[in-house]
Structure 1
Amino acid sequence: MRKLVVKKSFAVILALLLLVVAAGCGSTSSSSKSASKELTIGLTAPLTGDNAEYGNVFKNAIELALDKVNSQGGINGAKIKLVAGDSKADPKEAANIAQKFVSDANILAVIGDFTSTAALAGAPIYQKGGLVQLSPTSSHPDFTKQGTYMFRNIATQAAEGPLLADYTINGLKKKKIAIVYIKNDWGIVAYENYMKKAQELGGDIVAVEPYLPEQG
């Protein structure tokens, strides 16, 4: 899991750097300015709390990628700087970070958040502020529907749920199914998409047990 998150984070930073290039080279004047200043991107992720393992993997992977880019001269001579905010995977904290990032004219784009709930909380603020938000892990189908500034590099639960249901019934040949899911934005939509497809394929849902995030 850790290696997968590192790979996703590295892919995200490279994709986001292309957006930074576009922002830094959008005009002759901005291109010339970029040679004498830093280009800043933001990270919103759980750096403390229950999901800190993943947030810190994000941060470490991004810093490795930035070290590589900066060691090769940066972009148009400008070094890339990372500003990190600790969302703790909490929607209120994620919204506060979004307000802070949107208010900072130096931040060109944002990576995060880790959970769909936190990413969704910040999305309307980034959309209103015109700041690109790119999440490597927010698989809730509604995330990118929040506006034109939201992006992801992961499949949604609208695709993953049915695939898992198909594997359960047609791959594992199991039709009696008990479902345990976390009761948050991600867990609910994952459960709904899985259950719908499982029932379509003739699955028998014999038990459903939700649990709260703090019970995990």
Structure 2
Amino acid sequence: MSRKNETPVLVLSLLITLGLIGGVAWWFTRGLFSGQNGAQSNSSLNSQTGNGQASFTDRSSTGTRVLNPQSAAAEKLAGAQAMANRNYTQAVTDFEAALQTNRNDPEALIYLNNARIGDQKAYTIAVSVPMATSTNPALEILRGVAQAQTQMNQTGGMGGVPLKVMIVSDDNNPTVARQVADALVKETEVLGVIGHFGSEATLAAAPIYEQGKLVMVSPTSTSVQISNAGNFVFRTVPSDRFTATALSRHLLNNLGKQNAAIYYNSASDYSRSLKDEFVTALTSDGGQVVAEFDLSSSGFNALDTVKQASQQGAEALVLAANTATLDAALQVIAVNRRTLPLLGGDSIYNPKTLQVGGENAVDMVVAVPWVLLSNPQSEFARTAKTLWGGDVNWRTAMAYDATQVLATAIGASPDRTGVQQSLASPDFSLAGATGTVRFLPSGDRNQAMQLVVVKPGERSGYGYDFVPLP
């Protein structure tokens, strides 16, 4: 055969060989990272968050996929793969190794607990958090859930039956939250849901849980509108009414001021709720709100608004920002330069406030549902420090209580109707991390807020701390 005739044959052989190699690589990759049958990182989820296109399978996990975009270590992915293969012994080993690498990872601890359960009978709850879009608050909530699950299962579970936890990533998006709620209602093994994070997501999902007769307990949503969301909606966090009352009375009685300007996000149910409740509370107590500023406005200018507030007679600035407008609120803190007293809602209770606000945030008073330093030697606080290697905040404590609430109700009656009836009973009471948990007929938590103040300190690592107000 001539060299001229050999060339096409060699080219064709090379193309076939490359095609076979590519096909094998595709098959192997698909088998390893398949959303249906194997361990998966959050890559497909991240590409679709916020628009509701990611499937519930991609958004949920009891251990077969990793949802945290900031934590996909090799040991953790290996554990997820072992879970997908139902090799629970290996999964336990891998997740334990992942926690040795990063002890502060609640997702890994939840998956470890689930792996230890394996195929044995378990009662399942779900926790819906904004894992891909607001990772830090999501992890704060998951730490509370993981701690409660760990303690529950180590002490024999509910009548000998362990607690399994499904994590769902909902982007804190109302559209996605509705889709998640619809899917969870159809997951018949799920006996209760912890969530959602923001009031907008909780309000969007609530009618679906109500219609599907599946209990939802929110540890973080505070809008007063949730009080009317239905008989299957509860929360371990007090409503904005309690926050507004605490801030109003501090302004009038402790600071001796009557006139305030308030900053809020008009696009947030939580923020609007807190703003409206504060206006009502301050007016009822004899003060007045002399100016309102929308942090989400396209033309928002922190310096201009602070000048306007002073010109209109404001004696204090109240920050009713939500997580999405925290940066704008921090601009207000910066340009105010401690000229007017600052008050804030629970979303201001954020490490970023200490880190970015710094000296300008000193003496700002923030209302929170719970603060660790009010009882740092409690069993919950000590166990949390052992598990996570540091302090936890109110979101973790409220999520811990929400998990305990559901587990207690499931233990009394392990079906959806029984869980609701247990929590709605006037006799229901639980000694939680944040005090005694009781629910009003509205499903609201009946508990006052606590006030903390920013002071120089080293506990946070930023040179400033939130400490209980004397």
Same fold (TM over 0.5): yes
Q: Alpha carbons of 1:61 and 1:159: their partners in 2 closer, same or farther (altered >3 Å)?
A: closer
Q: Would the aligned equivalents of 1:52 and 1:88 in 2 still touch at CA under 8 Å? A: no
Looking at structure 2, the residues matched to 70 and 199 of structure 1 have their Cα atoms a distance apart, in angstroms, of 49
**Which of 188, 195, 205 is the equivalent residue of 2:272?**
188
Normalised by the size of structure 2, how large is the TM-score? 0.37
**Which of 119, 125, 138 is the equivalent residue of 2:221?**
138
Structure whose alpha-carbon radius of gyration is higher: 2
Corresponding residue number in structure 1 for 2:175: 92
**Which of 61, 80, 83 is the equivalent residue of 2:166?**
83
Normalised by the size of structure 1, how large is the TM-score? 0.77
Corresponding residue number in structure 1 for 2:127: 43
Bigger strand share: 1
Q: Would the aligned equivalents of 1:144 and 1:152 in 2 still touch at CA under 8 Å? A: no
Deviations 1:135-168 (A, max 9, x none): 1122112213211111112221123213311211
Corresponding residue number in structure 1 for 2:382: none
**Which of 49, 72, 78 is the equivalent residue of 2:155?**
72
Matched, 1:157 2:240: yes
Q: Would the aligned equivalents of 1:70 and 1:80 in 2 still touch at CA under 8 Å? A: yes
Corresponding residue number in structure 2 for 1:17: none
Q: Would the aligned equivalents of 1:46 and 1:56 in 2 still touch at CA under 8 Å? A: no
**Which of 158, 182, 191 is the equivalent residue of 1:108?**
191
Q: Would the aligned equivalents of 1:113 and 1:135 in 2 still touch at CA under 8 Å? A: yes
Task: Count the aligned residue pairs.
Answer: 181
Cα drift, residue 215 of structure 1: 4.7
**Which of 284, 293, 316 is the equivalent residue of 1:209?**
293
Looking at structure 2, the residues matched to 178 and 102 of structure 1 have their Cα atoms a distance apart, in angstroms, of 43
Q: Would the aligned equivalents of 1:43 and 1:83 in 2 still touch at CA under 8 Å? A: yes
Cα drift, residue 95 of structure 1: 1.0
Q: Alpha carbons of 1:204 and 1:132: their partners in 2 closer, same or farther (altered >3 Å)?
A: closer
Q: Alpha carbons of 1:207 and 1:194: their partners in 2 closer, same or farther (altered >3 Å)?
A: same
Q: Alpha carbons of 1:67 and 1:215: their partners in 2 closer, same or farther (altered >3 Å)?
A: closer
Corresponding residue number in structure 1 for 2:33: none
2:224 aligned counterpart, secondary structure: coil
Q: Would the aligned equivalents of 2:123 and 2:162 in 1 still touch at CA under 8 Å? A: yes
Cα drift, residue 89 of structure 1: 1.2
Looking at structure 2, the residues matched to 208 and 141 of structure 1 have their Cα atoms a distance apart, in angstroms, of 20
Cα drift, residue 62 of structure 1: 0.9
Point out which structure has higher relative CO (alpha carbons under 8 A, 6+ apart).
1
Q: Would the aligned equivalents of 2:178 and 2:208 in 1 still touch at CA under 8 Å? A: yes
Amino acid at match of 2:278: Y
Q: Alpha carbons of 1:162 and 1:215: their partners in 2 closer, same or farther (altered >3 Å)?
A: closer
**Which of 257, 262, 265 is the equivalent residue of 1:174?**
257
Corresponding residue number in structure 1 for 2:317: none
**Unaligned 5+ residue runs, structure 1?**
1-35
Looking at structure 2, the residues matched to 178 and 58 of structure 1 have their Cα atoms a distance apart, in angstroms, of 31
**Unaligned 5+ residue runs, structure 2?**
1-119, 297-321, 327-470
Amino acid at match of 2:123: L
